[in-house]
Each structure stands twice: as structure tokens, then as C-alpha cells.
Amino acid sequence: MIAPVPISLDVNGERVEAQVLPRQNLADFLREHLALTGTHVGCEHGVCGACTVRFNGDIVRSCLMLAAQAHNASVQTIEGLSDSGEIADLQAAFRERNALQCGFCTPGMLIAAQDLLRLDAAPDRERIRTHLSGNYCRCTGYQAIIDAVEATGKARRVS
């Protein structure tokens, strides 16, 4: 029998203390322990990007991290970014430009897109494509997603 380990971390600005099994991944911890089900789990081996979260300021694939590795870390999920209003304009652009259909990829796509717009306020379409190339979408064909990210970058530059 493997004993749980204690972890303490910040999730969306709130302190969380928990006991986790050493093998539990961060995505499952967020979804099952904290009910933050906006973090989606698709491939479970680091390919699709559906499980993307912000971890100490950088984006990571939470299916490839253990929950125990998040001890003392700061994690932001799509719920945190959404509730804070940080990505409200990006979310509106996705809606307006039909950049989501089933929505499965959308949380990871939004977090990755916001990561790019924080790094580069004026990304061209090729840069957007490259930055989002680790996030798979089976519905949209990507063009509308790139349109939405490009439009958000442009709108932020004039505001």
C-alpha cells in the first residue's frame, strides 16, 4: 500500500492543502480533488494540449506532471483565468469568430493563446500557428482560432 503525500499549493489564488497518491497526475488532481473540470484530459500523454494549465507562470501539460510536483507551486486553471477577467476579450473573440465548436480543446487553447499574447503583443499568423501547434482541435480547422487570437492581439494594442 502506497501512502499519500501531503501537498500545499496555490490554485487560482486560493491555498489548497491535500493528500495525494504519489502516482496521481496534476490534471486528475485538479479535476477530481478540486472539481476544476475545465482542465480537460484527452490523450493523457502530452500530445493534445487539452490539459494545459499555467504553472508558476508558464504553461504546462498537467497530464505529464504529478500532483506531488505542484507542492509549493502556483497553478492557474481556465476557471481562474476566466473568473479574473484576464481572458474575457479572448473568450469573446472565440465566441464571435466561431473558434469553438464542441469546446473540448477550448480551455487549453485559450490558456496557450493567452500565454502567447503575454509574450508577444503582436504575433503574426505564423507565430500564432506555431505557438498553438501543440493544442489539437478536431472541430474548427484552426483558421477561426487563429483569427480570434490575431484579432485579440490587435484589439489589445489599440486599447
Q: Which residues bind ligand FES (CB under 6 A)?
A: 41-44, 46-51, 61, 63, 100-106, 137-140
d(CA 151, CA 35): 32
Count other C-beta atoms under 10 Å from residue 17's C-beta. 8
CB of 47 to ligand FES, least distance (A): 5
Output 2 or 90, the one with its CB closest to ligand FES.
90
Residue 4 or 46 having the CB closest to ligand FES: 46
> Whole-number minimum distance, CB 159 to ligand FES, in Å?
27
Q: 4: how many CB neighbours lie within 10 A of its CB?
A: 12
> What's the closest the beta carbon of residue 141 comes to ligand FES, in angstroms?
10
Cβ proximity to ligand FES: between 24 and 140 the closer is 140
Q: What is the DSSP string of 47-83?
A: SS-TTEEEETTEEEEGGGSBGGGGTT-EEE-HHHHHH
Quick one: cell of 71?
A: 507542492
